[in-house]
Amino acid sequence: MISTWMRRLLGIAVAGLMMATGSATVSLAADPIRLGDLNSYTRLPAFTVPYRDGWILAMEELNAAGGVLGRPIEVISRDDGGRPGDAVTVANELVIREGVVLLFGTLLSNVGLAVADVARQRQVVFIAAEPLTDAIAWEQGNRYTFRLRPGTYVQAAMLAEEAAKLPATRWATVAPNYEYGQSAVAAFKELLSAKRPDVEWVGEQWPALFKIDAASTVRALARTRPDAVFNVTFGSDLAQFVREGRDRGLFEGRAVVSILSGEPEWIDPLGAEAPEGWIVTGYPWYALETPEHVAFLDAYQARFDDYPRLGSVVGYATMMTIAAAIEKAGSTETEALIEALRGLEIDTPIGPIRYRPTDQQTTMGTFVGRLTVQDGMPRMVDWEFRDGADYLPPEDEVARLRPEG
Listed residue (79, 130, 81, 71) closest to 101, CA to CA:
71
Residue 241: which residues within 8 A CB-CB, separation 6 or more?
A: 174, 212, 214, 217, 218, 231, 233
CATH topology for 4-151+288-365 is Rossmann fold (3.40.50)
pLDDT at 405: 58
pLDDT at 187: 97
Kindly state the DSSP code that residue 361 receives in the 8-state scheme.
B
Listed residue (180, 175, 171, 222) closest to 199, CA to CA:
171
Distance between CA atoms of residues 283 and 308, nearest Å? 10
pLDDT at 401: 87
pLDDT at 294: 98
CA distances from 390 to 58, 121, 150, 255, 278 (A): 28, 33, 11, 25, 23
pLDDT at 185: 98
* Residue ranges of the chain that CATH labels 3.40.50.2300: 4-151+288-365, 153-283+366-395
Catalogue the E-assigned strands of 106-254.
Answer: 125-128, 145-147, 170-174, 200-205, 228-231
The answer to whether domain 153-283+366-395 has CATH 3.40.50.300 is: no
Each residue's pLDDT, cut to its tens digit, for the chain (405 residues) gives: 444 444 444 444 434 433 333 333 344 568 999 999 999 999 999 999 999 999 999 999 999 999 999 999 999 999 999 999 999 999 999 999 999 999 999 999 999 999 999 999 999 999 999 999 999 999 999 999 999 999 999 999 999 999 999 999 999 999 999 999 999 999 999 999 999 999 999 999 999 999 999 999 999 999 999 999 999 999 999 999 999 999 999 999 999 999 999 999 999 999 999 999 999 999 999 999 999 999 999 999 999 999 999 999 999 999 999 999 999 999 999 999 999 999 999 999 999 999 999 999 999 999 999 999 999 999 999 999 999 999 999 988 888 888 865
pLDDT at 1: 40
Q: Which helix (H) or strand (E) holds 354?
A: strand 353-354
pLDDT at 29: 61
